[in-house]
Structure 1
């Protein structure tokens, strides 16, 4: 099943088996040992992909990007915060939105715990969106996040790294995303998600080393990695076969809202009703 561009994390669903085969301990262990060989193959392949990823060429960042941060204007160089490596999460949050994308919020929930470990290993993380800084700050406070989040609304950064799309391109029905042409993206969907990595040398030169989109960001999703070893796996049975079936902002699981196929959360008026007019656009 192909990647769902709007959420980024659609995969080929594995049907849950409510009546699995029950065997003796000896049979269970034999099956587990046999499967272990496949897991080792996967681990070695992942190691090899990592090695090849590190051998990819770099491109020098020639443009001076400036963002709105909590303490004023900051450059891309400033986001390194004294370290040589920078990972950026491109968070879907457009200028006219007040609530962050559910899928990107799902990913952002994984950052807080790893942040001190990365920062003590020469890696900084920053989250970047086009929404105005006060909107980002309010949502960040609501969600209890402590990572650095800046607004790129006044720069070309999102467009240059192919996670935002100009209206004229959307109206033409073709945009460039995940290293290919995506056709007929909803015209209101001006932003999508991704991850980009950068390196800064001792002379202050910045290089773009890697970007990934769609399912390329799944390795950074701690919840999915836990679910993949749970008895029923991801268990995403919804119409879209992705996280929109069940993921909510972590403070909304007890509410009656729903998530549409673009990753936007909607508060329902009453149980079983459609979304409110306030969030219908």
Structure 2
């Protein structure tokens, strides 16, 4: 629980409604801008990818086969440090939220995790933290480096399109850093709270609770305790 007595000012209903309407105008403008960005994204060109071989639970698998017959694939490149008990807390917490992905079937798409770590370690970690997505390893492939998520450098999201005529895979979109927030419901929920994320970098009224950035996030042991098998 946050220890703070900070409260927004109390006003009458008409004043509150007027202020909400002002904010709503900006929110609607942002929604229209996001629609325009999505339209531009749908018009991006794409680049053909090599015929990568990843490693799955059952052994080597072509990147094209990770689509499982679908045309579109979202890949989260999970940060990884070989041999470590706990992997990146941000990646672990972020991916733990994706528990029901079957709805993507209706959009001819899948969402999977690829990590540069050994597949045995990756699968054991997946079980430990209760992650439900399918994991693959790029430890025997330059795939991670080629999609801007080289080992020991960071994380990212990449989107691919498969041509069913010849199984050629094309890279269509990429983001990393805060760009991944748009795919997360966790930040969206926290951002509508009166105190927001309560992080020091945020523009908040005087007296609002604030703490070091990331300090409110679930770390990997927290995820395992809440959702995993430990």
What TM-score does the superposition give when structure 1 sets the normalisation length? Answer: 0.71
Aligned position for 1:154: 140
Q: Which residues in structure 2 correspond to 1:23-62 (within 5 Å)?
A: 23-61=11-49
Aligned to 1:247: 217
Contact preservation (8 Å) 1:17, 1:232:
no
Match of 1:67 in 2: 54
In structure 2, what is the Cα distance between the partners aligned to 1:214 and 1:58? 21
1:198 aligns with one of 149, 160, 167 = 160
**CA deviations over 1:141-200 (Å, ceiling 9, x no partner):** 1121221101111110111112115xxxxxxxxxxxxxxxxxxxxxxxx23010000001
Unaligned runs of 5+ in 2: 202-209, 226-230
* Number of equivalenced pairs: 213
Retained in 2: the 8 A contact 1:106–1:221? no
The CA distance in 2 between the partners of 1:220 and 1:251, in whole Å, is: 23
Equivalent position of 1:176 in the other structure: none
Structure 1: gaps spanning 5 or more residues: 1-15, 166-189, 256-281
Aligned to 1:81: 68
Between Structure 1 and Structure 2, the one with more helix by share is 2
User: Aligned in 2, Cα 1:133/1:216: closer, same or farther, shift over 3 Å?
Assistant: same
Residues 146 and 117 (structure 1 numbering): CA distance in 2 closer, same or farther, change over 3 Å? same
1:266 — aligned with what?
A: none
- TM-score with structure 2 length normalisation? 0.85
Name the structure 2 match of 1:170: none
Q: Does 1:99 align with 2:62?
A: no
1:120 pairs, out of 85, 106, 111, with: 106
Structure 1 residues 214 and 37 mapped into 2: Cα distance closer, same or farther (>3 Å)?
A: same
